[in-house]
Amino acid sequence: MTLIQSFLDTLSALASESGFAGFFADGGWKNIIMILISFVFMYLAVARGFEPLLLLPISFGMLLTNLPFAEMYHPEFWDYLTVTERDGTVNDHFIDYSRILEHGGLLDILYLGVKLQVYPPLIFLGIGAMTDFGPLIASPRSFLLGAAAQGGIFFTFVGAAILGMSAADCASIAIIGGADGPTSIFVSSKLLTANSSNSVGTIALAAYTYMALVPIIQPPIMKALTTKKERSVVMGQLRPVSRLEKLIFPVLVTLIIALMIPSAAPLVGMLMFGNLLKESGCCDRLVKTAQNELMNIITIFLGVTVGATTQADKVISLDFGKVMILGVVAFGLGTACGILLGKLMYVISGKKINPLIGSAGVSAVPMAARISQKVGQEEVPTNYLLMHAMGPNVAGVIGSAVAAGVLLAIVK
């Protein structure tokens, strides 16, 4: 009898310690819903090909973090504490890193790279090593289109403020309009606090979902804002750019932007460092690592940990709905601003510039440029706008890094 009793006791103890019991605990139903949501994102990534390289790690991170008792990620470890520093100043943004290192789970440790802003600049290093700034150097006026498309960021800031969000939430949601995942994560991980209604994860989810939806969001706006005649403008060939010009460019951009807006230095600096490595032609091994291995490793870490920050109470809330709505508004406004400036340049240049290249000013490299090409070819099948659109496209990357720097300089 005692044998059976102890057998049953052990069984029930095991059952109560298992993750299944966690689902029935207080608030456990939220975990179930989150796991189901993670399945939706996995489906979107695998079956629909929505930015799978990021959405798959993010969705799996969501799954891992919502397993009860697995203790892989502890949101409470990342709450800000108020402490008095050694020099007597009161710091209300103190994170107890020693506690995280001692008691943190795997995802806590990996999340350090997000919180300490290590991963986004490293991703930018890889992007820089893959980017050819030639079209931008050949046609510097593309910078204007890259700047205009950042209008979406700042106008969305207004929208978020009207909805009564905190400054950190406004800035984090607005930066989605830059159509740049690493930049969004960079800004939101720096600004969002425990009091914010959003998390880095929800911002990243919105940003990457919309980046995947660029081919659906952009064309209707592009067509609505331009006439058939404007879309039919055929642009000539770009001038060839010498190697020395390509070598000077990254150094020049780093100096100007980092001196102007120091808070943009980590992103722009690493982007340009990667590009200099590529253009130098003498660091092949480093370039290959930055483009492939390093980039892939960081993408895995970034995706899985960002996914881990999406807890039930942050996603199953009205605020996440607001993020999704404002995010698509930000994207749309960015596209519209780029197109409108493109139209202005079309008039000023004497109808030589196709306004369609303006929409490529939102970063989303190279998808946005491909959309410009595709929409242009619907009017004139022999029109190759791709290289012309790559100019505003890569300018958009620099532009959104600058916009991120500005937001970080204002909100702190």
Residues at the interface with other proteins (CB under 8 A): 136-138, 140-141, 143-144, 146-147, 150-151, 153-155, 157-158, 161, 164-168, 170-171, 191-193, 195-196, 239, 242, 244-245, 248-249, 252-253, 256-257, 259-263, 395, 398-399, 402-403, 406-407, 409-412
Cα 75 to Cα 27, 29, 42, 178, 411: the distances in Å are: 15, 18, 23, 27, 23
Indicate the residue among 47 and 244 with the shorter CB distance to other proteins.
244
Angle between helices 181-191 and 294-308 (to 10 degrees): 50
The single residue listed with the structure tokens 């990243």 is 204
The answer to whether residues 411 and 167 touch, using CB atoms and an 8 Å cutoff, is yes
Minimal distance, residue 123 CB to other proteins, in Å = 21
Q: Which residues of 74-93 are buried (b: 16+ CB within 10 A; e: fewer)?
A: bbebbeeeeeeeeeeeeeee
Minimal distance, residue 152 CB to other proteins, in Å = 10
Minimal distance, residue 274 CB to other proteins, in Å = 18
Indicate the residue among 21 and 163 with the shorter CB distance to other proteins.
163
Sheet strands (E) in 220-262: none
Indicate the residue among 62 and 403 with the shorter CB distance to other proteins.
403
Q: Which helix (H) or strand (E) holds 92?
A: strand 90-94
Indicate the residue among 5 and 237 with the shorter CB distance to other proteins.
237
The answer to whether residues 388 and 235 touch, using CB atoms and an 8 Å cutoff, is yes
Indicate the residue among 156 and 299 with the shorter CB distance to other proteins.
156
Minimal distance, residue 411 CB to other proteins, in Å = 5
Minimal distance, residue 281 CB to other proteins, in Å = 18
CA atoms within 13 A on the CB side of 307: 31
Nearest alpha-carbon partner for 176 in 213, 136, 132, 130: 213
Minimal distance, residue 195 CB to other proteins, in Å = 5
Indicate the residue among 16 and 242 with the shorter CB distance to other proteins.
242
The answer to whether residues 160 and 175 touch, using CB atoms and an 8 Å cutoff, is no
Cα 284 to Cα 249, 278, 291, 298, 403: the distances in Å are: 19, 7, 10, 20, 32
Minimal distance, residue 59 CB to other proteins, in Å = 28
The single residue listed with the structure tokens 């969004």 is 184
Nearest alpha-carbon partner for 176 in 364, 345, 375: 364
Indicate the residue among 121 and 361 with the shorter CB distance to other proteins.
361
